[in-house]
Structure 1
Amino acid sequence: MALIALMMALTALAIDIMLPALPEIVGAHGVTEPNDRQLVVTAYLIGFAAGQPFHGPLSDRFGRKPVLTVGLLIFAVGAAAAIVAPSFAWMLAARALQGFGAAAPRVVAIAVIRDRFAGRDMSRVMSFVMMVFIIVPVLAPTLGEGIVRLGSWPWIFAALLLVSLLALGWAALRLPETRPPEDREPLSGAQLRAALAQVVGTRKTLGYTVALGFMFGTLMSYIGSAQQIFVDVYGLGELFPLMFGAVSSVVALAAFTNSRLVGRLGMRRVSHLALLGFVAASVLTAVAGFPGHPPLAAFVAFLAVSFYCFGLVAPNFNALAMEPMGRVAGMASSFMGFYTTAAGAFFGWLVGQAFDDSVRPLTVGFAALGVLTLACVLWTEGGRLMRTREEETAVPRAG
């Protein structure tokens, strides 16, 4: 489980460790448009989204470990290319390659969890993984700030190269193959179409995947804008990593709470109540005309409530979407990962590019994406929230 958590956390590390260094990275390559620094994150997410449709089916066919090994090696090559990048375009290409490689550990991690667990047990495991996953964003900006102070921004990519090689060695020694040979099917067009049809034809899987895309849009909106908001709007300067980590730690607390509650209350009740809380907080804030420069304490309180709800929603939506996907877990994980990452990157870019030296684009974006998530869940559940497991049979399949 610790190794799975590291595999999931690699993506968060690759994004958050460089947030304090974004001004130095774009400055070194002669980029003058302030909002273009967000492209260092967006390019990674594009590669991350593009890689998942490849890695999932391949892991179903050839096993989890070979795909993980190749993905980590690609990630390492991308990190090395970023170190020697002679231009900003080269840097963005290297980041996209990093993201493509990082898609493998993400897909394999979810598939391995589904290979071993189901239902509420899966949600509890996902909660543990989410806790470790969130500890990385708490620490990563501070680590990145320290690396830049000791050396320069290329050292950040050297650190990512080292972490990927450590993960590769750990997986080689400790990760068992959870996809037995008898479950592997020929990698053919017909088989891929059948697996994809099962994924998109299952209402619960499709609906919660689309809902997760909207929710991850809120997360990526925050990540893409956080450095500019806390440094440019509030003038926190060197305190930015600490503030970013403090807000991120709320998600870890929520994931721990979820691991204690989901066994008693169920995935739907916990996640649906949290989603209603997220929508209420964000919509009320938007309707009230949240000022462009609210007091820092008020803005941080808004973020804390929003991300606490997010931490209760994400692991349960993941588990609900993956639960019916036993034999095609790799395909399902890759489809979910591709869509949620692509949607999160797009919505995050959309909100981030609207940054106008105020927090208003972020708060309005949270409200809009929260409402869209709720609408999607209502469609998935046939208009009824907090449905019990026994009542699931009343919900028809898509198509």
Structure 2
Amino acid sequence: MTVASNSETPAGPALSYVEFVGMIAFLMALNAAAIDILIPALTTIGDSYDVTDSNAHQFVITSYVLGFGAAQIVYGPLVDRFGRKSILLVGLLIYIAGAFGAIWAPTFGALLAMRLVQGIGAAATRVVAMALVRDRFDGARMASVMSLVMMVFMIMPIVAPNIGALVLAFGAWHELGIVMALIGVAALVWTSIRLPETLDPADRRPLTGKRVAEAFRIVVSNRIAAGYTAAMAAFFGVLFAFINQAEQIYTRTYGLGDSFTLYFSLVAAFMAASSFANSRLTRHFGVRRLSQTALVAFIIIAAAHLGLAIAYGGVTPFPLFMGMFILMMCCFGFVPPNLNALAMQPMGAVAGVASAVLGTAQTLGGGILGAAVAYFYDGTLVPLLSGFLVLSVASFALVAVAERGRMFGPD
């Protein structure tokens, strides 16, 4: 089965459906690898540069996220003007350069700068991946594809921290930069050989100030696109808060040591399973009903977990923590793919810019919100779970604004 398109696309090497989904997932997983592979090394990295504030170690993650989020707004107009493939290849080269640069960074500040560069390069993969999916699919089919992509994408948080821990067991943290660079090289080779250009020359938008401004106006003035984009930003703050704080919670709050990567991977495995379930259920229950129901469930579980944490003096027993956390992250698997699809649905004419706005909002906005929540770590679960509750309620409220209060309706 070759990949079907909802419009005629330029000629190129035919990709099977499986290879197309795999390629998109690999591009998305490249970003997960750049974040998750360093999680076991944050303390080691900070100690190697004599960074005494343990909460500042999180900046290794935050700097990448900021570059990744901010640069997407630049790539959007470029992929609508010059096509998907050429911009992707340029971005991958920047990513690889940033990964190698981080290996030889002489100071902590220089390391953060190289991580920023790495994120700037990786931003192209996010914009292009979303535009490619939108070029090919729409509606429930697009949500289903994004769920499969998210499922494969979530394999990286299962694998990457353990790869990071394994490398640290036999070498220095600098060698993690080589691993990230090699992943970038693999993506560069695969896409340069196999990826066709999916943007029809007739649909390319001139790169003028007026046309770019018009494209951005189309995105931000559309109630559905803008509302769901803002909802995604709030909800992604949940994920980034956990990623930034994961090592501290597992190793300091619960004292798990190096084995914490196994528990981190367990949570990611349940997220991957829920994303796979979402790909099957969207056609039966609808994108809106599934995502909105999952949001409500997340809010209820987060509120319950926060109440229990307070009752236990700030830290729930570890088995209870894991059980509640897995339930919350299973809800997570039903939200981002569907909110992405709903935000992109009306944006076919400006898919590149729409993907950039969505990506910038969810990554930059979510990254800043998540970093703010994570920085309040005090040895307990209360700051994290309070942030989860506030951000998920805000996300649900923004969805309600996008839908004008008509919730849980059909697609």
Shorter-normalised TM range: over 0.9
SS of the residue aligned with 1:326?
helix
2:288 is the counterpart of 1:268: yes
Structure 1 residue 310: Cα displacement = 0.9
Give me the TM-score of the superposition, normalised by structure 1.
Answer: 0.96
2:46 is the counterpart of 1:26: yes
Partner of 1:395: none
Q: Letter of the aligned partner of 2:406 in structure 1?
A: R
Residues of 1 paired with 2:377 and 2:211: CA distance? 45
Q: Letter of the aligned partner of 1:56 in structure 2?
A: G
Q: Letter of the aligned partner of 1:76 in structure 2?
A: I
2:93 is the counterpart of 1:73: yes
2:373 is the counterpart of 1:351: yes
Contact conserved, 1:381 with 1:387, CA < 8 A, in 2? no
Give me the TM-score of the superposition, normalised by structure 2.
Answer: 0.93
Structure 1 residue 284: Cα displacement = 2.8
Residues of 2 paired with 1:56 and 1:251: CA distance? 29
Unaligned runs of 5+ in 1: 390-399
Selected match of 1:177 from 197, 201, 208 = 197
Residues of 2 paired with 1:385 and 1:287: CA distance? 27
Change (3 A) 1:192 1:290: farther
Partner of 1:320: 342
Partner of 2:56: 36
Partner of 1:151: 171
SS of the residue aligned with 1:327?
helix
Change (3 A) 1:338 1:358: same
SS of the residue aligned with 1:160?
helix
- Between 378-387 and 211-220, the greater mean CA deviation after superposition: 378-387
Selected match of 2:113 from 86, 89, 93 = 93
Partner of 2:83: 63
Partner of 1:394: none
2:104 is the counterpart of 1:84: yes
Aligned positions of 1:223-262 closer than 5 A = 223-262=243-282
SS of the residue aligned with 1:323?
helix
Change (3 A) 1:236 1:180: same
2:377 is the counterpart of 1:381: no
Q: Deviations over 1:63-98 (max 9, x none)?
A: 001100000000011011100000000000000000
Cα RMSD of the aligned pairs, angstroms, is: 0.9
SS of the residue aligned with 2:333?
helix
Structure 1 residue 363: Cα displacement = 0.9
Residues of 2 paired with 1:23 and 1:278: CA distance? 30
Structure 1 residue 287: Cα displacement = 4.2
Aligned positions of 1:356-375 closer than 5 A = 356-375=378-397
Selected match of 1:189 from 195, 206, 209 = 209
Residues of 1 paired with 2:307 and 2:325: CA distance? 16
Residues of 2 paired with 1:248 and 1:200: CA distance? 32
Residues of 2 paired with 1:76 and 1:286: CA distance? 41
Selected match of 1:164 from 184, 198, 201 = 184
Residues of 2 paired with 1:233 and 1:157: CA distance? 28
Partner of 2:154: 134
Residues of 2 paired with 1:227 and 1:285: CA distance? 20
Q: Letter of the aligned partner of 2:135 in structure 1?
A: D
Selected match of 2:325 from 303, 306, 312 = 303
SS of the residue aligned with 2:349?
coil
Partner of 1:220: 240
Q: Letter of the aligned partner of 1:213 in structure 2?
A: A
Q: Letter of the aligned partner of 2:380 in structure 1?
A: S
- Between 282-291 and 118-127, the greater mean CA deviation after superposition: 282-291
Selected match of 1:105 from 125, 129, 154 = 125
Residues of 1 paired with 2:195 and 2:356: CA distance? 20
Residues of 2 paired with 1:24 and 1:30: CA distance? 10
SS of the residue aligned with 2:74?
helix
Partner of 1:392: none
Residues of 2 paired with 1:250 and 1:370: CA distance? 19
Contact conserved, 1:55 with 1:104, CA < 8 A, in 2? yes
Residues of 2 paired with 1:12 and 1:216: CA distance? 13
Q: Deviations over 1:197-219 (max 9, x none)?
A: 11011111101110011110000
SS of the residue aligned with 2:406?
coil
Aligned residues: 389
Q: Letter of the aligned partner of 1:2 in structure 2?
A: G
Change (3 A) 1:244 1:263: same
Structure 1 residue 285: Cα displacement = 2.8
Q: Deviations over 1:155-182 (max 9, x none)?
A: 0001111110110000011111001111
Residues of 2 paired with 1:171 and 1:68: CA distance? 8
Partner of 2:65: 45
Q: Deviations over 1:229-277 (max 9, x none)?
A: 0001111112111010001111111111111110111100111111110
Unaligned runs of 5+ in 2: 1-20
Contact conserved, 1:290 with 1:360, CA < 8 A, in 2? no
Q: Letter of the aligned partner of 2:181 in structure 1?
A: L
